[in-house]
A and B are shown apart, each in its own frame.
Chain A
């Protein structure tokens, strides 16, 4: 098994390299990112390789991560990498493959086989290799340290707006526009049906306010996440009603930013009631 490392961005040696999974790019991660011009991340999420049974929903896919940093190193995480000793990880990957001028890690960064690598060990290695290292302390929101795991849970089934607050930025979802059943168009609200990678975390069902960026211009958007009770109750669909936009987006890759959770989904007795509610939602979100 060879070491597979893909670089996104320029190929020059990074001045300041941050290491971690950074799933979510939450406020804690941002404390690291703000000091880096490059990141080293792992794909798939190491947890899925170390514990074969866990499937993990990604708050941030590798593609989405490229939006937050100019140079991204993606190391394919597999059993071979998981079994590298802490020293081998540092020498064979950090030094040999990347050779950064400065390292930035979080207070809880562990690496190498059985997590034997600690921030303290990293510090010792950096000292002997004359590479300055910064270890970043945790960021808390009131009394709890901000963690990706809690954000995942909240986005899926809890307090979505608290999760968005902990993220510190809108929730980015990069997906493609696929053909829907034109139901939205029939109601007078043409909607884009969006498809996301299977590992991407879809927030809980409901109505959201957000924006979609098309050719670098953001458009106010209402987002509906839910089942289609009339059709397949198992698949969750994400529909975006883009205000003030006319055009065909089929097959295009778009950046959807979820800004705020507005209300849970509701079933309506008839078409008119649904149209009235959509108008109300839009007014509540963006004014008349």
Chain B
């Protein structure tokens, strides 16, 4: 019998979440394959994949789990997609370096429940249409802010030379790290985009037990 079950895959950069599903389809040819939450092409880390009807039914529960992200914010530059794949739309040079304390204080203001406007380039629907489809056409995208919950937010690194901040967060579903980086930069009186993004955990599923793309074929055909 062909493989059925839940897989945690470590998505590499430069491919879409759907590319991972296509790769799996090529290996086992199954119809019912889904994932529990998109990771942008520039992002890496945990992608939960469900194979088989019995398991795709469980995807919603995975989607609802809290997630841990480690990400880097590039301060001083704004891009159209809020990530490194877009075009630079504005620059706001930073004259004096920030202090660790001021950055930590800013990060703490995002702890708990806050309002967040999703990115224009996102799968959010506006009157039935995907926001990214409208954004790609150059249309103005107005998205309603939603309530997000961040349980933990920690500063990992601040490099005053490159003006990059690295953080780790643990949050509830619906949190867009790309919007969070934008908002953190605004609070620091500048602009910013998410330069790197790693989804380190979905619920208790962590990177150390995730399969790489190369390991998929072996894992799926072993049964």
Chain A contact residues, CB within 8 Å of chain B: 4-11, 62-63, 66, 74, 174, 197, 215, 253
**Cβ contact of A11, chosen from B96, B99, B155, B157, cutoff 8 A:** B157
Task: Give the nearest-CB partner of B102 in chain A.
Answer: A253
B64 at the interface (CB under 8 A from A): no
Q: Determine if A4 and B100 form an interchain contact, defined as CB atoms under 8 angstroms apart.
A: no
Q: How many residues of B contact A (CB 8 A)?
A: 15
B154 at the interface (CB under 8 A from A): yes
List, in ascending order, chain B residues with CB within 8 A of A174's CB: 99
Q: Determine if B101 and A6 form an interchain contact, defined as CB atoms under 8 angstroms apart.
A: no
Q: Determine if A11 and B166 form an interchain contact, defined as CB atoms under 8 angstroms apart.
A: yes
Task: Give the nearest-CB partner of B98 in chain A.
Answer: A253
Q: Determine if A63 and B101 form an interchain contact, defined as CB atoms under 8 angstroms apart.
A: yes
Q: Determine if B100 and A66 form an interchain contact, defined as CB atoms under 8 angstroms apart.
A: yes
Question: How far is it, in angstroms, between the C-alpha of A215 and the C-alpha of B97 when the chains are bound?
Answer: 11
Question: How far is it, in angstroms, between the C-alpha of A180 and the C-alpha of B156 when the chains are bound?
Answer: 36
Question: How far is it, in angstroms, between the C-alpha of A6 and the C-alpha of B156 when the chains are bound?
Answer: 5
**Cβ contact of B100, chosen from A5, A63, A215, cutoff 8 A:** A63
Q: Determine if B157 and A7 form an interchain contact, defined as CB atoms under 8 angstroms apart.
A: yes
List, in ascending order, chain A residues with CB within 8 A of B42's CB: none
- Top 6 closest A-B pairs, CB basis? A7-B157, A63-B99, A6-B155, A11-B157, A10-B159, A8-B158
B161 at the interface (CB under 8 A from A): yes
Q: Determine if B100 and A74 form an interchain contact, defined as CB atoms under 8 angstroms apart.
A: yes
Question: How far is it, in angstroms, between the C-alpha of A253 and the C-alpha of B159 when the chains are bound?
Answer: 19
User: How many A-B residue pairs lie within 8 Å, measured between CB atoms?
Assistant: 39
Task: Give the nearest-CB partner of B158 in chain A.
Answer: A8
B160 at the interface (CB under 8 A from A): yes
Closest CB in chain A relative to B97 CB, distance in Å: 9
Closest CB in chain A relative to B160 CB, distance in Å: 7
List, in ascending order, chain A residues with CB within 8 A of B99's CB: 63, 174, 253
List, in ascending order, chain A residues with CB within 8 A of B154's CB: 4
User: Which residues between 73 and 121 of chain B lie within 8 Å of chain A, taking CB atoms?
Assistant: 95-96, 99-101
Closest CB in chain B relative to A40 CB, distance in Å: 14
Question: How far is it, in angstroms, between the C-alpha of A62 and the C-alpha of B99 when the chains are bound?
Answer: 10
Question: How far is it, in angstroms, between the C-alpha of A5 and the C-alpha of B166 when the chains are bound?
Answer: 12
Q: Determine if B96 and A6 form an interchain contact, defined as CB atoms under 8 angstroms apart.
A: no
User: Which residues between 125 and 175 of chain B lie within 8 Å of chain A, taking CB atoms?
Assistant: 154-162, 166
Give me 20 A-to-B residue pairs in the complex whose CB atoms sit less than 8 angstroms apart, sorted by A's number.
A4-B154, A5-B156, A6-B100, A6-B156, A7-B157, A7-B166, A8-B100, A8-B157, A8-B159, A10-B159, A10-B161, A10-B162, A11-B157, A11-B159, A11-B166, A63-B99, A63-B101, A66-B100, A215-B95, A215-B96
List, in ascending order, chain B residues with CB within 8 A of A74's CB: 100
Closest CB in chain A relative to B72 CB, distance in Å: 9
Question: How far is it, in angstroms, between the C-alpha of A72 and the C-alpha of B192 when the chains are bound?
Answer: 24
Question: How far is it, in angstroms, between the C-alpha of A170 and the C-alpha of B95 when the chains are bound?
Answer: 25
List, in ascending order, chain B residues with CB within 8 A of A10's CB: 159, 161-162
List, in ascending order, chain A residues with CB within 8 A of B157's CB: 6-8, 11
Question: How far is it, in angstroms, between the C-alpha of A4 and the C-alpha of B162 when the chains are bound?
Answer: 22
Question: How far is it, in angstroms, between the C-alpha of A31 and the C-alpha of B162 when the chains are bound?
Answer: 29
List, in ascending order, chain B residues with CB within 8 A of A62's CB: 100-101
**Cβ contact of B156, chosen from A7, A66, A197, cutoff 8 A:** A7
Task: Give the nearest-CB partner of A65 in chain B.
Answer: B100
Question: How far is it, in angstroms, between the C-alpha of A253 and the C-alpha of B101 when the chains are bound?
Answer: 12
Interface contacts beyond A6-B156, A6-B158: sample of 17 additional A-B pairs, CB < 8 Å, sorted by A: A6-B155, A7-B157, A8-B100, A8-B158, A9-B160, A10-B159, A10-B161, A10-B162, A11-B159, A62-B101, A63-B99, A63-B100, A66-B100, A66-B160, A174-B99, A197-B101, A215-B96
Task: Give the nearest-CB partner of A174 in chain B.
Answer: B99
Closest CB in chain B relative to A203 CB, distance in Å: 22
**Cβ contact of A253, chosen from B96, B156, B161, cutoff 8 A:** B96
List, in ascending order, chain A residues with CB within 8 A of B95's CB: 215
Q: Which of B99, B154, B155, B160 has the most C-beta atoms of chain A within 10 angstroms of its own C-beta?
A: B99
List, in ascending order, chain A residues with CB within 8 A of B156's CB: 5-7
Question: How far is it, in angstroms, between the C-alpha of A10 and the C-alpha of B155 when the chains are bound?
Answer: 14
